[in-house]
Amino acid sequence: MKTPRIDSHQHFWKYDTQKHAWISDEMSILKKDYFPADLKPCLEAIEFDGCVAVQADQSEDETKFLIALSETDRFVRGVVGWVDFRAEDIEERLAYYKNYPVVKGFRHVVQDEPDDAFLLGDDFMRGIALLEKYGYTYDILILEKHLKVAEKFITAFPNQPFVIDHIAKPNIKEKSIDTWKADMQAIAKHKNVYCKLSGMVTEADWSNWNDDDLIPYIDATIETFGADRVMIGSDWPVCTLGGSYQRVMGVVMDRINLLSETDQEAILGGNAIKFYNL
């Protein structure tokens, strides 16, 4: 039986100027609503079966919004929501979301925090320590500069399933790879950590990138984590800043044609299914 193909990372939103203030004027294409009906034709065009919807706003209203979408659009196989890990009632909130099996894990937009050591904050780590008890995953959204801190953070939770979003956003536009690669190798030594082949196009030159700009990073990620801990993700609709859904996903799909059929199936869906328990 063929393994379902899963886009492990995309977003939905009802555009709001305050809630989505991070969308700048140069990102004007994103200043509109994006719903499952908009994504479905994209998935069908490349013969994908489902997706994981990831939070884009730091509120529990966002988590509930994604849950509601999954109830009407069944191809939304999983939700990565948001809770305040620093809150005193964090355990109560995690327990609450066990009522919604579609919620597979959580994420915090660490890349936007002014403190580069945010992940190591006592209150935040206290909250993260509860995830294992409830069987949740955690998506690590950081920039390359946070990788050394992230490695210390990961070390503190050896049994917690983690996934690095967007290959930790290296500076692809400047073709900077050596320091990023070394730091990712340190992360990958922790076998509880996966990595998403996603979000690369927005770290390249949006209007002038080509496949050769991304391939060294794709190859390095697979070489570092192994084909059994890497998953494809679009970062739709953000990826449309750099081109169509099909083109962005096609770069990874074309490159992994060099791998065995088993490895391809793992990257295109099997690993996301395993990691998120879809």
For 41-50, b/e burial (b = at least 16 CB within 10 A) is ebbeeeebbb
Per cent of the chain over pLDDT 90 is 93
> Each residue of 242-265: pLDDT tens digit?
999 999 999 999 999 999 999 999
Answer whether residue 32 is part of any domain: yes
Is pLDDT above 90 for 214?
yes
- CA dist 222 and 84 (Å) reads 32
Task: Tell me if 102 sits within 8 A of 67, measured CB to CB.
Answer: yes
With respect to residue 145, please indicate whether it lies within any of the assigned structural domains.
yes
Q: How many distinct structural domains can be found in the chain?
A: 1
167: left (phi over 0), alpha (psi -120 to 50) or beta: left
- Tell me whether residue 170 is in a domain: yes
Let me know if residue 254 belongs to a domain: yes
Could you tell me what percent of the chain has a pLDDT over 70?
100
Write the pLDDT tens digit of every residue in 19-30: 888 888 888 999
- For the cut 80, the answer to whether the pLDDT of residue 221 exceeds it is yes
CATH number at residue 224: 3.20.20.140
1 within a domain of the structure (yes/no): no
Q: Which residues pair with 194 in a beta bridge?
A: 163
Domain-located, residue 129: yes
Answer whether residue 121 shows pLDDT above 90. yes
Residues 61-93: pLDDT tens digits? 999 999 999 999 999 999 999 999 999 999 999
In a domain, 180, yes or no: yes
| Residue 74 domain boundaries | 6-276
Please tell me the pTM assigned to this model: 0.96
User: Which pLDDT belongs to residue 18?
Assistant: 84
pLDDT of residue 8: 98
pLDDT of residue 247: 96
Q: What's the confidence (pLDDT) of residue 23? A: 85
